[in-house]
Amino acid sequence: MKNKPYLIAEIAQAHEGSLGILHSYIDAVSKTGVQAIKFQMHLAEAESSVHEPFRVKFSKEDLTRFDYWKRMEFSMDQWKDIKKHCDEVGLDFICSPFSNLAVDWLEEIGVHTYKIGSGEVNNFLLLEKVCQTGKPIIISSGMSSYDELDETINFLKNNKADFSILQCTTAYPTKPEQFGLNVIKELSDRYNVTIGFSDHSAKIATGIAAVSLGAKILEFHVVFHRDIFGPDAKASLTIEETIQLVEAVNQIQEAIDNPIDKNNNNQFKELKQIFEKSLAVNKNLPKNHIITFDDLESKKPKGFGILALDFHKVIGRKLNKQKSQWDFLNEDDLE
């Protein structure tokens, strides 16, 4: 396939701070056909404080959002093992840093591509740090207006960054009227870089539509079950749905890569013989009857009577012989 869409399964906090569950996700995702797996690296002290409010509060155990991030942390050695596991199963290891310290860690671990989440679009401190690595960047655009995005994109261009942009709506799960599928083309026209879609709709149709409309990258959350605990579970695809999505978007891309030429129908010449029809009469008609539209039917195959497409040529003409119902109508039946 020429332009296979690049699919990224986002784990985010679906592991709930459990290293074992995180490794299970790597194994499960590796069997779906996506090219990349994505994580978020949270280092609570560096990125948050006890003053950060909750987006969704699930657990009484986490008194503050800071406590929640603390619970989502892994050590450097654990992250190195996570990256090794991704390499072993052939998944690109993509990660969103939420602090400059996380960028240092990700460099040491050997991240494949940096993701900039929608909340960090105007965090120029972080963007500067990521640009310094020279690694590819995928940036999400949820919550940003074009004015805000212009500033970020100019910054990335001035830094000669290798970057792509995702249309994203920061709503979990996203409703159809919030998808902003129109923005895919707008972003492409405006910034002339690779455009993708970061999906929180929990529906495979959304990703399929995004690819149909030109998204070259598709990121979506995955979860073992949508009912499990966690802020993103309801906005995620299951592993089974991910397999269906991969199959569907690859099929759609194959179709997009092979446009057909409607000016040239030669390949259908033989089939047309089978599908096209001849004129017949739909009732018994006496000699000298004047043919009207209501006397006519079209019957297969073509070539047994006047072509159905020429029906107007027989209307108003007189039969020179009697015709029985469902007889084909030929030129020598008419005066």
Ligand X SMILES: C=C(OP(=O)(O)O)C(=O)O
Residues lying near ligand X in the complex (CB under 6 A): 40, 96, 115, 117-118, 140, 142, 166, 168, 198
**Cβ at position 272, least distance to ligand X in Å:** 48
d(CA 117, CA 252): 27
Cis peptide before 301 (omega within 30 of 0): yes
**Cβ at position 198, least distance to ligand X in Å:** 3
H runs (alpha helix) in the chain: 19-30, 44-47, 65-71, 76-89, 100-109, 124-133, 146-158, 182-191, 204-212, 239-257, 269-275
Cis peptide before 173 (omega within 30 of 0): yes
Of 218 and 279, which has the nearer Cβ to ligand X?
218
**Cβ at position 144, least distance to ligand X in Å:** 10
- Side chain identity at 25, as an amino acid letter? Y
Cis peptide before 97 (omega within 30 of 0): no
d(CA 186, CA 180): 10
**Contacting residues for 104 by C-beta, under 8 A, at least 6 apart:** none
Strands of 21-124, DSSP E: 36-41, 92-97, 113-116
Which residue of this chain has its Cβ atom nearest to ligand X in the complex?
Answer: 117
**Cβ at position 188, least distance to ligand X in Å:** 17
**Cβ at position 244, least distance to ligand X in Å:** 21
Of 133 and 282, which has the nearer Cβ to ligand X?
133
**Cβ at position 166, least distance to ligand X in Å:** 6
Question: Please, are residues 246 and 278 in contact by the beta-carbon 8 Å criterion?
Answer: no
